[in-house]
Structures are given as structure tokens and as C-alpha cells.
Structure 1
């Protein structure tokens, strides 16, 4: 281990990563650089500086990455209408490539030999962090303490803190949540505790970002979202930066009981895991984006995007953001968004996101053709007969041969 002189640690300031700082120094006899990212998790990140200083860390990076996160990661993902296994909006998954990138950049800036993270050996995050790191710096050394040490319980971690004089008043003075949680501007997730039984309903007190649909206002809320090239650029006519868009939609969505999700998902490492998520802003964004695409995208382009999306979602979930295949798919997705411009009007009501209007100068919707009234010759209905017969030809031939019999 003597070849490791300096390590960059993804540092939250919590119990686990504080223990990791000391453990890295003790185990590897190395200098530790901490990196704390503000991705909109809703908690102050600046206190991590004092905690790191108390642990003897001299190089401390604390960065506000909210704008970068939404503009360069969340928005590109939503251009694809991305959902994993039909439900999950990938709130945790999409944050990991950004953190991995900054870990590598800081390692290069500081001359560090390795990077480290606090992800466990059972989850997806270890894969996401490390696949990203290796894609960006092939020969980087990655240290994953949860795969090396035997401090596999909170009690053992607390004992380690006591033995090594690690300040943990921030852990003692705060009631420990029974859930393992991860938050950023896109979502907050909950795992563990009673959720480990997929039959047990989540406690109402668990949810932090949203009211229950039953407790949401009895009056609907209407909003207009303006899109340019597939991204939301304004709400109710007011231009906003990407992270402000998502913050606003999180607030208004949460107030209307939108965005709660309870799923059992298939982790990349092989196990099934039950998790609960709150993604109010993302839920609104997804519905609105599909609505604006419904009038601006050609049918075959839209259907091809829907065919590509599950693969794209799987790549992000599994940690392949920096892979050539994800970049190839992103290029195709982004190419499709040139005409995805216009305004979508939504009604938010008791957990529901209801599309009530959409308009665009790039709309492909032609009322003169679609009308049930007199179309003045815009569409000759007699043409449908030949169209149907040509498409039925193979079925008719197979039927005559008895191939379609049950």
C-alpha cells in the first residue's frame, strides 16, 4: 500500500465518510483530499469543511454543482424520456457520473494516486463511481473501504470513532433516520428499515418533499412550461436557469402530492431492492416533455426514441454514462430535439400531472387533416382502402394457408 500517497475522497461529512478519512490515513498512511458536492440535496454542505478540518484534512473541495448537474446530466437524460423498468426516474444514478468526473479532475489537480468513495459492496453506486472513474482515468486506483474493512454496522463505526477520537457530535445530536437516504435536486430516495419488507407500506412520516395526494389542495394548479430544443427554459413565461426550473417544479409538485414512488427494482449487482422515491419535478418534466414531443416529433422518430429509451435507461442505471454507446445514443436523441419547441400547459391536482394544452410553431399537428368535420379535400378517405389491403396482403395469404388458425 506504500504506492498510495494521496487519495481524493467523495466526502459527505457524515459518519461513514468521516470514519473513512481516518481509516484511509491509518490503513494506507496517506494524505486525504476531501470533495463535497452540492447537488441540491437540501442540506448545507459548508459544515463539511469544519468536519474535514477537524479530521486533519488540509485540501478541502466544496463545490456548488447544481447548475452543471441539471444542465449537463438531468436535462440530457430527460430528452430521452428516460425511466428504468417502467417507473424509476434515475435520480441517484444520474448524479454519479458527475461526482466521478470531479473526483478524477481533483485527483489530477492535486497529484493524487487514488480516489475513494463510501458506497457499500452490495449496491449499484460502487459500480457507477468506479466505471466512471476508469473511463476517465484508466489506471486510477480506487479504494472502496466497505469492501475492505470489517466496520459493517453503525455500532462498529461509532466504536471506531471513539477509539480514534473522531468527533461525532453531529451524529449523536441528530436523530438517526431508520432509512438509508440519498438526495439531490432530482429526487430523494429511501431504502432500508421497514421498507425491506415489500409488503409493508411506507410510513407517512418518511416522506420529506411532498404531501400525500389526500392532503394536497382541493384546487388544481395550472402551469405553462416553455421548451427549447427539448429543455424547459421558462415557467409561466418567466425565463429560468435549469436548476431553478427543477427547484420550482419540485416545490410546486410536492405541494400537490406529485412524485411519490414505491418500487422493487433489479440492481445491476444481481439482487432485487425495494426503494421509495420522491421525484416531483422530474415527474412533471417527463409528462410535459412527452406532451411537447407529441406535436413536434415525426411518428417514426418518436417511436424509435421509445425503442432506444430502455437501453439508454439501463446504461445510466448501470453506470455507463461515459461509455461510447451512451454517447452514441445521446447524439441521436439530441438530434431529434431540434424541433421540440413550444409550450405545454399542465394541471396539477392531488398527485396527478394532467396535460391540458400544447402549442408550438414547429407543430406537425394539422387540424385541417385531423378534423372530423369537412376537411375540404385535405385527406381523401378513399385512399385508406388501398392502404389497408396492401397491409393486409400477408395476413390474407397466411390465412388462406391456414397459418393464422389457433
Structure 2
């Protein structure tokens, strides 16, 4: 039997690789997606081969990740449950897409992943796989084996000489990519517990950030960010630069209890410096260029879109249909935003757009601008008509 495993080199997938070989008597091919997690990508490839993989892929998908997944998601303006920028959610369909492709090319009978039976990632991986290859077989060891928790897995790793980055003294798990780093599990499972000191990797503690604010300008064209401080960059380069700028000022930390798709609440801690800057910059440009009703409608639909992305329905027809709407709306998102960053705060310092709907002469207290203030009386009376009728027919107590 031949299996292609989505392999990170972390605790779970390191154990799974060995377990698949032993339990299924299988040839295991590992696939590691480079989506910006750092040097560990090449380390994971070597580790996979050393642990028993017959072949190990390590593909640089950073530009595809930001261009074809992160940027389209950001065009929606969506946040999951008002806070989460979905850094883990949006990476899974990309990984699963290439996992299925490699399985086809290698003639593998199955794919495997390291997501637990309690989490969202199992849904995201498998919904994507079945959307792209309906007959694919999926193996999810967390739903099959006898390990109860990570302490047993650490023992198993020691028994087989497999080095793992998680210890009993530091028992939280991490997931990193160009958009964010997530932390969950272990000591973080208590919502009352503060994240351990020194846990964060992308962002400085805000109180230790520079004592002087920094100005940053972000430029958008036709819906996507294209430049930072006047320098035009590719999507992945742009997000990387914003991560560096935002990170040194402590931008983008989120600690929340969220509702998983499978039905339970979980506590996650995230740091998304560049993504947070992009989100706020986009909204600033949109405040100038989007029609009121379009913006309000977009924001209503963004809630549903965020749920679809979070729950793993990236390749579902309803997400694709909404994407077409958001892409249409985003065509006028062109302009430049200037922020002042200071100790975890994003402070607006200016915004402008050649497509701006903002008309100073209309809104100014010092100019008429073609607006007759007397017209407001009829507008108010028409809107008050039903309220007056109700007040007469059904007086309040």
C-alpha cells in the first residue's frame, strides 16, 4: 500500500509516519508545504526520510498561498466570530490540493493527515480532498490509534528515536505560515491561563516594542495590496514585509475561545501582524471607495463566507459563488493608507484614493456643495411615517 502523508515534522506527523509504516505495512511518501513556516521545511524533509519515508516532497507554495488563497479571502473582509483572520483555515485547502495531486502522480491509494478527531483540520483536509478527488481514501490516525494524548506520543517518539519539538515542559502545539502562527493545547486549554511568557514568535510584547511610533503606507490596486512604503512587492514578499513591520510593534495578537465546526469550544492564541495591518488597511480604503449599500451587503455576506472558510468549504460552490461577488466589489479598492504603529496599536494617519466617493463639498459645514439642507425635512418625514402611524394606533404605555 502506498500513502501520501501531509507531513510537518512536528510531534503528530512524526509519530504518524512511523505508525503508518508499522500499522499498514505501507510505503509512505511525505509532503511538506512551504507556506512560510521557515527553515523547518527542509528539516522536515530530511527528518521524514530518516524516519522511514520512501520519498519526501518539500514544495515552495508561498506565492500561491498568498496570491490564490490569502488575498481572495481578504477581499471578502471576513473574520470568523469577529476576531479570527483564519490563518490556519485558509492554509488547509492549499495543502490538501497538492496532497491529492501528488497522490495521483505517485499512484498512491490513500492520503493521510495529522489532524485530530476533535478538531477542524480533519474536516478541512478531507472536504478538500473529496472535492478534488471523490474516490480518494483518507487515513486519519487520530481516529484509529490508541494514543490518548501527547505524553504517550512523546514516549512513543523516544522509543523509536524520533526527535520532536514538543516537550512535557512546553506542551502546546504550534502551526505557522506566512499569515500567522497559532498556539493551542496543553497549558492553553485553560481559558483563564495567560499564555506562557516567551511563547510568541512573530510579535514583540507591546510593552517592549519601540518607544517611538512608526509610519507605514500600504497601497492597494484593484482589490489587492501591491506596495508597502512605495515599494512594489509580490504577494508573499508584501505579507512578509508587513509581518516584520507589524511584529516589531506588537501588532496582531489575538486570544479567543472559538466555536469549532465539530461542535465544541476551543481556546486558540494567534499572532497575525501582517494580516492585521492588511485587514485594517483594506477597510480604510473601502471606507472611501465602496458604496454604502454595497459595503453593508458585503459585510453581511462576509460572515457566511468566513464560516465557509473556517469550516473547510473552500472548494464548495457556495464559497466560489460568494468569491465572484467579493471580487467584483473589490475592483474599486484602490488607494493608499497610512498608519502609525505604536505598542500594539494601529493608529490611522491618513487615507486617499483616486476612486474616492468622499466629497468634501457635500459633507463640509462651510460649503453647500449642491446639497439643499431643506430636503432633509421631507426625507425624515417619509421615514417617520410608519412610526407615526404606529404611535397613533398603538400608543406606548
Match of 2:114 in 1: 118
Match of 1:202 in 2: 195
**Are residues 1:387 and 2:379 paired?**
yes
Which of 235, 245, 252 is equivalent to 2:228? 235
Match of 1:29 in 2: 25
**Are residues 1:54 and 2:54 paired?**
no
Query: What is the SS of the residue equivalent to 2:23?
Result: helix
Query: What is the SS of the residue equivalent to 1:276?
Result: strand
- Verify the 8 A CA contact 2:154 2:164 in the aligned structure 1: no
Which of 241, 252, 266 is equivalent to 1:259? 252
- Verify the 8 A CA contact 1:220 1:347 in the aligned structure 2: yes
Write the distance in 2 (CA, Å) between the matches of 1:51 and 1:273: 31
Match of 1:88 in 2: 84
Which of 102, 118, 121 is equivalent to 1:106? 102
- Cα deviation, residue 392, structure 1: 0.9
- Verify the 8 A CA contact 1:288 1:355 in the aligned structure 2: no
Write the distance in 1 (CA, Å) between the matches of 2:135 and 2:242: 41
Query: What is the SS of the residue equivalent to 2:41?
Result: coil
- Cα deviation, residue 176, structure 1: 6.1
Match of 2:144 in 1: 148
- Verify the 8 A CA contact 1:146 1:152 in the aligned structure 2: no
- TM value normalised by structure 1: 0.94
- Cα deviation, residue 30, structure 1: 2.3
**Are residues 1:168 and 2:162 paired?**
yes
Query: What is the SS of the residue equivalent to 2:36?
Result: coil
Match of 1:398 in 2: 390
Query: Which segment is superposed worse, 26-35 or 139-148?
Result: 26-35
**CA RMSD after TM alignment:** 1.7
- TM value normalised by structure 2: 0.96
Large movers: runs of 4+ above 6 Å: none
- Verify the 8 A CA contact 2:36 2:176 in the aligned structure 1: yes
- Verify the 8 A CA contact 2:257 2:266 in the aligned structure 1: yes
Write the distance in 2 (CA, Å) between the matches of 1:171 and 1:216: 28
Match of 2:7 in 1: 11
Match of 1:268 in 2: 261
- Verify the 8 A CA contact 1:39 1:185 in the aligned structure 2: yes
1:150/1:390 CA distance change after superposition, 3 Å: same
CA deviations on 1:333-390 (whole Å, 9 max, x unpaired) are 0000111101111111111112221111111111111111022x51111111111111
- Verify the 8 A CA contact 2:97 2:129 in the aligned structure 1: yes
Gaps of 5+ in 2: none
- Cα deviation, residue 177, structure 1: 2.9
Query: Which segment is superposed worse, 191-200 or 133-142?
Result: 191-200
Write the distance in 2 (CA, Å) between the matches of 1:15 and 1:161: 8
Write the distance in 2 (CA, Å) between the matches of 1:62 and 1:307: 39
Match of 1:371 in 2: 364
